[in-house]
Chains A and B, each alone.
Chain A
């Protein structure tokens, strides 16, 4: 109990059932160590190195890099996404194991940002992938990136970071949106077997 801070202790006192305590504890452990897959798509890639290195030292908060998608908990999409990139990002995301989260940096994934009239970048990332936390800014500085991670940790602790479940439940919607921009060059089926084995229509 000594490692718990005030906020944690206050939350614990409010829990009623034993199962709620177990859930709370699982979430508490999950949020302590977040392995990040930094997918440097746009200009935000330059903000990741200072975030994880000595000056801002994200590892203080349990955030560190992961080598492969399969070992990562969170994918950080830093900046605008071209259509070609988005296809790779979706494949990467579908390879990750649950629990998995998405953090989008910058205004471009939110509403297109300064590339709103570009022919080749997507305008709203959350139409194609379930985004848990978006950090606004152009580009957000490492402090803001860390703030985003803190927000994600809060969300995990509250049990609300359910992007992966949302993706699974609303896969029709997401795949339809993806098909709108990929056309007949959709992702190959094996990237999400769990969907296609159920007789998906793509």
Chain B
């Protein structure tokens, strides 16, 4: 019997409390579970179903419903399936224990999410600043972060126009005329 993603989801559903699941397309499935079930599901995927690698951890900010959705994407090199395990955490002061112990690369993904969304990952050994240096205040990828206001406060935008600003089309015509004249002279 060939392995299908439906069989896989059924096996996971037998062992864990899955609150929702769907097959997005061939070889890609998403399943929702609670935060308590997350580590169990991921360890099961890695050790029993041979999902060798964690491709990424995504984070989406659902500000209207007041939660972050974290998606752990695991990939198998034997069946070529991708499984997204999704959990929901609250937007303020949320913390999810790290999965660094399962896949080591999770350390970097979590570091980025920590910086961009402010989700805490207790147990992560390298949760320091990543892209942003010396960042204070609200993490910038949260949707209530006002990026335009931030830019106005922190950077100087160039004022409209400058001294000696010229009309581009007029200047271009002048240049072309001068070039023509030059060519004409060379031709003579």
A184 and B132 contact, Cβ closer than 8 Å, known pairs A111-B158, A123-B157, A124-B156: no
Measured between beta carbons, the chain A residues less than 8 angstroms from B15 are none
Tell me if B105 counts as interface (CB < 8 A to partner A).
no
Q: Nearest Cβ distance between residue A187 and chain B, in whole angstroms?
A: 12
Tell me if B17 counts as interface (CB < 8 A to partner A).
no
Distance between Cα atoms of A42 and B145 in the complex (Å): 24
Distance between Cα atoms of A52 and B140 in the complex (Å): 38
Measured between beta carbons, the chain A residues less than 8 angstroms from B77 are none
By the criterion CB–CB under 8 Å, are B133 and A123 in contact? no
By the criterion CB–CB under 8 Å, are B132 and A84 in contact? yes
Partner pick for B131 among A84, A87, A110, A181, CB 8 A cutoff: A84
Number of chain B residues close to chain A: CB under 8 A: 15
Q: Nearest Cβ distance between residue A49 and chain B, in whole angstroms?
A: 26
Measured between beta carbons, the chain B residues less than 8 angstroms from A120 are 131-132, 140
By the criterion CB–CB under 8 Å, are B157 and A182 in contact? no
Number of chain A residues close to chain B: CB under 8 A: 22
By the criterion CB–CB under 8 Å, are B133 and A185 in contact? yes
By the criterion CB–CB under 8 Å, are B156 and A183 in contact? no
Tell me if B134 counts as interface (CB < 8 A to partner A).
yes
Partner pick for B156 among A82, A83, A110, A127, CB 8 A cutoff: A127
Q: Chain A, 127-166, contact with B by CB distance < 8 Å: what is the 0/1 string?
A: 1000000000000000000000000000000000000000
Tell me if B1 counts as interface (CB < 8 A to partner A).
no
Measured between beta carbons, the chain A residues less than 8 angstroms from B131 are 82, 84, 120
By the criterion CB–CB under 8 Å, are A119 and B133 in contact? no
A116 and B133 contact, Cβ closer than 8 Å, known pairs A111-B158, A124-B158: no
Q: Nearest Cβ distance between residue A128 and chain B, in whole angstroms?
A: 11
Distance between Cα atoms of A180 and B156 in the complex (Å): 10
Measured between beta carbons, the chain B residues less than 8 angstroms from A180 are 154
By the criterion CB–CB under 8 Å, are A119 and B147 in contact? yes
Which A residues form the contact surface with B (CB < 8 A)?
Answer: 82-84, 87, 110-112, 116-120, 122-124, 127, 180-185
